[in-house]
Every structure is written in C-alpha cells, then in structure tokens.
Amino acid sequence: MARHADTGRAFAIKILDRQRILAMKIDEQIKTEIATLKLLKHPNVVRLYEVAASKTKIYMVLEYVNGGELFEKIALKGKLSEKEGRKLFQQLMDAVSYCHERGVYHRDLKVSNY
C-alpha cells in the first residue's frame, strides 16, 4: 500500500521482479495483464492507474480495495446471508459482463480471486 503525498489517497502497488518474470517465462502474460487492465474502467474491477519500471522491477499502481478477500470473509462467517450473497453476485456478474463486452475473459473465476 502507498499513499499519494498530496491527497493521502491509498493505492496498491504491485511490484514485479523482471528477472523472475523472465525466468518463469511469463513476460507476455504480464504484458497482457497490463494491456487488459488499461482497457477496463468499472467500479467492480480493480483499476490500473499507472505502470512504471526500473531496470530490475515493474511497478503497477492499482486501486486500493480494503475489506480483505471474499474467501476469508466466508471462511470466518461460514456463509453469507442471502442478501449479502445476492449483492456480491450481482456485482460480480456486472463486472464479468462489462469485461466480456470488451473482449476480456477471466479464465479463473473463484471466490479467492474476488
């Protein structure tokens, strides 16, 4: 997490090691992730604000979303109420529909990714 110096607004910073990316042969996957996130601007999709790079690292400045993972929330409560589950499902379907309209398809939808 980082805070904007002037506004105090919180952002998530994803730091990727270039050597590791190359060693794992996922450089194209990372390029695709960045290009895809640049396309998407929706209230239920994490927003990418900026990408910066050094010789050794790639920094992705993302929307900071607090509240933890849905998976953890369910694990603690055991289950969600129907009302809460319906609201989250509607948000998920709205985001998936938005992505599909733009030719973006998530191949690994699961509670731990939401």
Q: Residue written as tokens 């809460």?
A: 84
- 36 DSSP 8-state letter: H
**Is 108 a residue of the active site?**
yes
Largest CA distance in the chain: 49
Give, for 88, the enclosing helix (H) or strand (E): helix 82-101
Are 48 and 31 contacting, i.e. CB atoms less than 8 angstroms apart?
A: no
Residues forming beta bridges with residue 21, ordered by sequence position: none
Tokens encoding 47? 């927003």
Catalytic positions are 108
